[in-house]
Amino acid sequence: MSRPASIVVRDLGTQDYLPVYEAMSRFTAGRDEHSADEFWLVEHPPVFT
């Protein structure tokens, strides 16, 4: 029987969009079949358009 997959939860608080997007892109690019899944909790400052 296989083990359940582990998930890393990251509570990043409030951060600007671009640095988090870039970090998530680097994380995704560096993943392989042995990488744990990650769930990122982040709030971005309001943007008015």
Which of 46, 31, 36, 45 lies closest to 10, judged by CA? 36
Confidence at residue 30, expressed as pLDDT on a 0 to 100 scale: 97
Q: With respect to residue 36, please indicate whether it lies within any of the assigned structural domains.
A: yes
Confidence at residue 36, expressed as pLDDT on a 0 to 100 scale: 93
Q: With respect to residue 16, please indicate whether it lies within any of the assigned structural domains.
A: yes
Tally of domains in the chain? 1
Q: Tell me the C-alpha to C-alpha distance, in Å, between residue 10 and each of 4, 20, 29, 33, 38.
A: 19, 12, 18, 20, 7
The SS3 call for residue 37 is strand
Q: With respect to residue 28, please indicate whether it lies within any of the assigned structural domains.
A: yes
Confidence at residue 49, expressed as pLDDT on a 0 to 100 scale: 82
Q: With respect to residue 48, please indicate whether it lies within any of the assigned structural domains.
A: no
Structural domain harbouring 13 = 7-43
pLDDT in tens, 1-49: 667 678 999 999 999 999 999 999 999 999 999 999 999 999 999 988 8
Q: With respect to residue 24, please indicate whether it lies within any of the assigned structural domains.
A: yes
Q: With respect to residue 27, please indicate whether it lies within any of the assigned structural domains.
A: yes
